[in-house]
Amino acid sequence: MQLPDGRLFEYSAAGDPDWELLIFCVGTPSAVVDFPYVADAAAARSLRSVICSRPGYGGSTRNQGRTVADAAADIAALADHLGADRFLVAGWSGGGSTALACAALLPDRVRAAVTMAGTAPPVEAGDVWTTWFAPAMVDEIRALTTKPPAELVPEYEQDAKGFAALTGAQLTLSDNQSAADKAALIEVPEVAEWLAQSIKSAVSSGIWGWLDDDLAWARPWGFDVADIRVPVIVRHGDEDGFVSIDQGRWLAAHIPGARLDEMPGGGHTTVGVPIDPVIRDLLYAAGPR
């Protein structure tokens, strides 16, 4: 589709166009690859589902200098394009901030939101933010706010080369995956394969979507999560090896009325595998249609 400012926006929709819309925001880095695992679970509850590529990923035109808040306008335009006045939104990992942007900035349209293993805003969180990461990682993320983006490109390009031959099996066996994650991905291998294909697609034409995602996350988001007034579920595993549960706990404590689903033994993947309980709880939080 074409956005109001002329940019192209890539998406994939599944399900009956007359059903309520569920927008599923994928992680970082990720681009559109059809995901029947989510589409089928949504359809089982009479929901139409859609995934999209944030600017700079896949077929979506880059939006240089974008903020997290800018994602809400893109999602609103997508919902308009699909004929949905109101909708549900779910964000996994790096997509969690997009879900929260929609909740904060589209309160008349978002019925409920869930962030799964999502990040908290470093600027809004303040000094406590530094306690969520190993010291080396803090330095890397701080570079996003202190260095010109051009200086960061070589490192991102080098890392992107490592994704060229990524497989679901490699993701499953990653050291950052908890024991529960590995078990879930072995039981549902199509999720690992989808993740691998989505990551490869995200960087196949360049690293700008990925870098812009990280730049947007590390800088002011353009809204305060404390201003969110729609129902929000924060779902996080206490053994997440990618995004510390401290971020999920902070979000739940600072989003008014947010419900924290803390998963003992859960990791970065098990927050969304199986996915049906997530969709069920999101519908419950939203209330009658």
- Token duo for residue 35: 């995901």
Domains of the chain plus CATH, in order, are 11-286 (3.40.50.1820)
**Residue with structure tokens 């969180």?**
125
Is residue 289 over pLDDT 90? Answer: no
- The full length of the chain comes to 289
Q: Which helix (H) or strand (E) holds 96?
A: helix 96-105
Is residue 136 over pLDDT 80? Answer: no
Specify the range with the lowest mean pLDDT, choosing from 126-130, 148-152, 238-242, 246-250: 126-130
**Structure confidence by residue, pLDDT tens digits, 247-282:** 999 999 999 999 999 999 999 999 999 999 999 999
**Structure confidence by residue, pLDDT tens digits, 101-115:** 999 999 999 999 999
According to the model, what pLDDT value does residue 135 have? 78
- Mapped onto helix, strand or coil, the DSSP state of residue 2 is strand
According to the model, what pLDDT value does residue 4 have? 96
**Structure confidence by residue, pLDDT tens digits, 35-91:** 999 999 999 999 999 999 999 999 999 999 999 999 999 999 999 999 999 999 999
Q: For the purposes of burial, counting CB atoms within 10 Å of the CB of 7, is it exposed (0-12), middle (13-18) or buried (19 or more)? A: middle
According to the model, what pLDDT value does residue 182 have? 93
Is residue 159 over pLDDT 80? Answer: yes
**Structure confidence by residue, pLDDT tens digits, 211-250:** 999 999 999 999 999 999 999 999 999 999 899 999 999 9
Average pLDDT, the chain: 95
- Mapped onto helix, strand or coil, the DSSP state of residue 255 is coil
Q: Could you check whether the bond before residue 29 is cis, i.e. omega within 30 degrees of 0? A: yes
The 3-state secondary structure of 113-149, one letter per residue: EEEECCCCCHHHHHHHHHHHCCHHHHHHHHHHHHCCH
Which is it for strands 20-25 and 87-92: parallel, antiparallel or unpaired? parallel
Instruction: Calculate what percentage of the chain has a pLDDT beyond 70.
Output: 100
According to the model, what pLDDT value does residue 141 have? 84
Say if residues 211 and 153 touch (Cβ distance below 8 Å). yes
According to the model, what pLDDT value does residue 139 have? 84
The mean per-residue pLDDT over the stretch 2-27 comes to 97
Say if residues 249 and 276 touch (Cβ distance below 8 Å). no
Going by C-alpha positions, the residue among 11, 41, 38, 29 that lies closest to residue 205 is 29
Is the pTM higher than 0.95? The answer reads: yes
- Strand segments, DSSP code E, in the chain are 11-14, 20-25, 47-52, 87-92, 110-116, 232-237, 259-263
Is residue 134 over pLDDT 90? Answer: no
Is residue 13 over pLDDT 90? Answer: yes
**Residue with structure tokens 């209330």?**
287
